[in-house]
Structures are given as structure tokens and as C-alpha cells.
Amino acid sequence: MGLQRFVNDPDDLVDETVAGFVKAHGDLLRKDPANPRVVVSRFAPQDGKVGIVTGGGSGHEPAFIGYAGRHLLDAVAIGELFSSPTAKSFADAIRAADGGAGVAVLYGNYAGDNMNVKMAATDVAAEGIEVATVVANDDVCSAPLSERAKRRGVAGEIFMWKIGGAKAALGGTLAEVHAAAQAAIDACRSVGVGLGPCTLPAVGHPNFQIAPGTMEVGIGHHGEPGARIELLKTADHVADDMVQIVMDDHALPEGTEVAVMVSGLGATPVNELYVLYDRIETGLEGAGLRVHRAFVGNYFTSLEMVGATLTVMALDEDRKALLDLDCASPGLTVVGAAVPPVGVVAPGPRRTAAVGRADIQTPRAPEAVGSPRLVLGTASGIVGDLAAVIVANKSHLSEIDGLIGDGDHGINMAKGFGRAAERLAGQEGTLDAGLSVLSDVLMSEIGGSMGPLYGFMFRDMARAVEGRDALDAVGFAVMLRAGLEGVSTTGAAKVGDKTLMDCLVPAVAAFDAAIPHGFPAALAAMAKAARQGRDSTVDMVARLGRAARLGERSRGVPDAGATSCCLILETLGDSVARRLSQA
């Protein structure tokens, strides 16, 4: 590979990480027998106790997997590197944690997590499991205070899990656990500083560079660049800046007691973290605050990034007592007040079918009446064409994503499309069957935001043409509009947000407008509009997703989602056009 890393096959890294983690910490957690991407506390579920669940991308160890244990998280859903777990994994984690008193899902504010948690909660509600959610948004530099709902969740999530888990361990109701966890994250502020980037093994190079003698202030936890670049300062000056950023946003009155966490990002020597903390505590005390507990170490990392995050949580008497309660997990142990048991450990989780979104009414394509026509009975090979172009562009997509995001787009897309192609290899089936396989793989195995977005796009496309023998241009337009509706209903993006919608919306509109000129002309118009939509994102400022934190720094780079969407639509047009000529 050329990387100085302990890696076998990069595609197997997450599964091998989970396997080793469970073996090393088998006294505290176990793998869910029904889902290898879910780990469950050995102390869960407990009858009559509120379950505590989280989930997130790998690469942050000990987060998220390392906080399952006693009086903390009951179950954790695990995603690919820097990518949200699937909706199915979130749903299985909820089932595994359910002791009959409801489940609190406490997670970070990322597009993929928001989508997949929402779908999972809808799915388990049909089984009678009540779910309450709290979304962490403690990253000060990811959005202004006036738009705090847009902020990302970073290391403050750990305090949220600790407080929520303690409240549940004391027998709190779901409403009480939700309130305690929400109050905890509301009381948190975090900031990160990066000195060196990280490398996803499947990419092979850093997403971005940090020039010698500089640092990124407001660094993201997924390898995203910071909010601004500054000259490297001494540790004391960096610590002072971090305290100032947090305190300017927090506005805490003198005498407030706080809990403090200084976490390394993966490659920072622990002694340097203590150098930072020495100055941080001095700064906090100088601001009139009193440190009740401090946590210094690698609590929430980002592969091998060089850097550190500071999190400050304001304490009241209730939060202080909950923070001090006994807990044990691979990532965090607090020796404090003992917690009386709420109930006995139940025998195991409930199981039901896979996760689904609340369905929209998918339009059906009409019977083909025009010519030329696309014969659907042997058109599943179109999916193979789509997979080939995504796999071929894996590095390109990840490189684009890494410039303003976390660099995993090409990796995950190639893995999903590639697995779908493997399942369909050697088969000659219908187009709807092929699209359904692609949708299933993307939603059940890939996660992130692209998993559900493209998953529902292809699912609704498949439903629109199911049972049809052939499509003319009008029927193909119905299929495209169904896919667009699937994306629109699943996500919140609009044209101008610098997302795949900037490619998909104009492409579908262009196909519709060109139908009077014939099927081939409409396919060509779709591809042209897709390219123009992709190119339009270069000069846009990202308004959604991880790149939104960068503001003007996101300008000048094409959006990775729009780029993959363009590849899909161009290839779809070419593949259909070839089959039209053979019909």
C-alpha cells in the first residue's frame, strides 16, 4: 500500500477493528449476534431502564464503540470510516438497548446520522419502542451562536452520554433522561485545533495539507479543514486561544463549576495534551470558573490527526451529581458514587424486518407507446455500467470530497456500487430488480448520507417501472422524477446548497423539456444539464453538510455528491442510449 499503517485490506478495517475491540473488552461489551455493526453493553438491556444508544463513523476510537459499558451507552451502531451507520444498524441498536422503558438516542449533528436515526426511530415505533433523540451541537466554530442548531457534535457528545447514561441508571424516565442529556449538551462548548491532517487508508493520502509552521483553528473531527489558518503558536498561546473561543461563546458567570475535556485527535503525544491542560485550567480559573473534573487523553480521535479539542461543560448540582456517578467502559471510567440497579439484564433484543422510510406514493411509469423503447426485461446490466463508472472514479470522488469534507465519498460509493455489481454478476434480470439490489446494498451496508439518499432514489426508480416490459421517453421521465422525489423526501437539500441536488434537479428538468425531440435527444439533454449542474457547484458556498462549516473556503471545489450524481446520470444516459439502438 505504501502507507506506514497496520492495515490488511482497507475495506475490512472497520470489521476487523470491531472484532479486536470486542475481544479486548469482552467483559464490558459484546457484538450483537444479529448485526456485526452493533455492539451492546454486557449490562444491557435492563428491564424497566431507559436504553441509551448512539452511533457514528469509525476512526474516532474510543468513540463511539468505546463508550458502551456499565451506566453509559447500552448499544452503539457502527459506521464506515467517518460515515454514519446505516438506518438498520441504528434500529438494531435501539432494539438491543430496549428494556421496555423507551430508548434515548444521543448522537452528533451530521446529515447521515440525522437521516438514519429518523428512519430507525420510525421503524421501531411500529414495534412499540418509544424513542427520544438528542442531537449534539457543541462545536463552536462550525456555525455562529445565532445558528447553533447547525453546529456539529464533537467531544461534547461524551459528556452527553455520561449524563444521559447516569440519569437512566438512576431510574429516570425517558422524558427525564432526554431532558438531562439535552441540558448537558446545551451546557457544552468545544473547539479543535489541528497541526497535521489524517489519511483514510483507502484513499492513501491526506484530504488536505497543513503547511509547516501553521495550524487549523476550528478543525473538524472528520479531517475537514478548520475555520481558519493561523501561524503555529506556542502551546500556551494555543491554549489561551481555545479558552477564549469557548468562553466568548459560553458567557458563564463567575463561580460556575465546569467539567473539562482535552482530547487528542489520534497522533498527539499525551504529554502535550497535559501541557495544554495546564494552561487551560489556569485560563479557566482566571475567568472565575472552578474545574470540578478534568479528563485528559484520547477520548474522541480522528485517525492519526495531530491536534486537540477542548470541551467545557457548565455544571449545576444535578449535572455535577450525574457526572460523578460510577461508570465503566473502555473509553471512560469514573470511580464515584455507586448506582443502585434499576432492573435485571433482559435476555436479548427484539428482532424485526429491515428499516424502511415512511413511504411516499411512488408514481408508476405508463406503458410504452412510442419508439424507440427501452426493453426492461434484460436491462439490469445498466446497474453494472453505473457500478463500473463509480468504482473507476473512486479516487477522484474521494479526492474532491477530501478538499472540503472528510474524503470518504468515493470509498463508500465504490464499495456500495461494487457490492451491488457483484450480486448481479452473471445474471440477466429486469431493470427494477437491478435497481432494487443497488438500493438495498446502499441503505443496508453503506450508511452515511449518500446511503439513504441514493438508496431511496434507486428504490423509487425501481418501483416506478416495476412490472413494465418497456419504457418510452415519457415513462423514463416518470422514473427520473420518482428518483428525484426519493432524494427530496429523504434529505433537506435544495438547489444552491452545493449538493447533488444542483446536478439532479436540472438534469431531470432538461430531460422533461427535451422529450418532444425524442428519447435519445432527451438523454443527451439530461447528461448536458447534469454536467452544467455539477460545474455550477464550483463557485458555490456550501450551506449543508460538513463543508458548510468552511464558509467561503468551500468555494472553488466541485461538490462530491454533485460529481457522483453527474457520473451516474451521464452513464445512465449512455447505457440506455446503447440499448435503444439495439431495441
Q: Where are the domains of the chain?
A: 12-197+209-334, 374-581
Separation CA 36–CA 17 (nearest Å): 11
Write the pLDDT tens digit of every residue in 107-156: 999 989 999 999 999 999 999 999 999 999 999 999 999 999 999 999 99
Q: Counting Cβ atoms within 10 Å, is residue 113 exposed (0-12), middle (13-18) or buried (19+)?
A: buried
Separation CA 459–CA 457 (nearest Å): 6
Strand partners, 263: 297, 309
Pairing of the two strands 51-58 and 103-108: parallel
Contacts of 362 (CB under 8 A, 6+ apart): 460, 463, 464, 482, 485, 486
pLDDT value for 206 = 84
What cell was used for 112?
447521515
Separation CA 361–CA 90 (nearest Å): 25
Pairing of the two strands 75-81 and 374-375: unpaired
Q: Which residue has the cell 418532444?
A: 516
Helices within 213-326 (DSSP H only): 235-250, 270-286, 317-323
The answer to whether the CB of 81 falls within 8 A of the CB of 58 is: yes
pLDDT value for 387 = 94
pLDDT value for 583 = 47
- Given a cut of 80, whether residue 293 has pLDDT beyond it is yes
Long-range contacts of 321-326 (CB under 8 A, 24+ apart): 322/162, 322/163, 322/166, 322/167, 322/170, 322/180, 323/159, 323/162, 323/163, 323/166, 323/259, 323/292, 323/293, 324/293, 325/71, 325/166, 325/169, 325/170, 326/70, 326/71
**DSSP code, position 29:** E
The answer to whether the CB of 47 falls within 8 A of the CB of 99 is: yes
Which has more pLDDT, 373 or 240? 240
Q: pLDDT-based confidence at 223, cuts 50/70/90?
A: low
- The CA–CA distances, whole Å, from 45 to 52, 68, 126, 131 equal 10, 12, 19, 15
The mean pLDDT of the chain is 91
Write the pLDDT tens digit of every residue in 388-400: 999 999 999 988 8
Which has more pLDDT, 361 or 242? 242
Separation CA 139–CA 153 (nearest Å): 6
Separation CA 122–CA 116 (nearest Å): 10
Span 181-208, mean pLDDT? 92
Span 33-47, mean pLDDT? 95
Which has more pLDDT, 380 or 496? 496
Span 245-250, mean pLDDT? 95
What cell was used for 528?
448536458
The answer to whether the CB of 476 falls within 8 A of the CB of 573 is: no
Closest listed residue to residue 187, CA positions, set 234, 249, 144: 249
Write the pLDDT tens digit of every residue in 70-84: 999 999 999 999 999
Separation CA 526–CA 269 (nearest Å): 52
The answer to whether the CB of 129 falls within 8 A of the CB of 78 is: no
What cell was used for 145?
451562536
Separation CA 235–CA 239 (nearest Å): 6
pTM score: 0.83
Write the pLDDT tens digit of every residue in 398-418: 888 888 777 888 888 999 999
The answer to whether the CB of 315 falls within 8 A of the CB of 258 is: yes
Separation CA 398–CA 202 (nearest Å): 9
Separation CA 150–CA 143 (nearest Å): 6
The answer to whether the CB of 80 falls within 8 A of the CB of 99 is: no
CB neighbours of residue 210 within 10 Å: 21
Annotated active-site residue in 25, 178, 222, 250: 222
Query: Residues 294-333, buried b or exposed e (16+ Cβ, 10 A)?
Result: ebbebbbbbbbbbbbbbbbbbbeeebeebbbbebbbbbbe
- The CA–CA distances, whole Å, from 210 to 197, 242, 269 equal 7, 19, 18
- Given a cut of 80, whether residue 581 has pLDDT beyond it is no
**DSSP code, position 254:** T
Q: Rg of the Cα trace of the chain?
A: 24
The helix (H) or strand (E) run that includes residue 51 is strand 51-58
CB neighbours of residue 567 within 10 Å: 21
Cis before residue 64, ω within 30 degrees of 0? Answer: yes
- Given a cut of 60, whether residue 582 has pLDDT beyond it is no
CATH of 374-581, one of 1.20.120.10, 1.25.40.340, 3.40.50.2300, 3.40.50.720: 1.25.40.340
Q: Is residue 222 annotated as part of the catalytic site, yes or no? A: yes
Q: What is the CATH number of domain 12-197+209-334?
A: 3.40.50.10440
DSSP string, 419-450: HHHHHHTT----HHHHHHHHHHHIIIII-TTH
pLDDT value for 356 = 54
**DSSP code, position 353:** -
**Residue 308, SS3 per DSSP:** strand
The answer to whether the CB of 102 falls within 8 A of the CB of 128 is: no
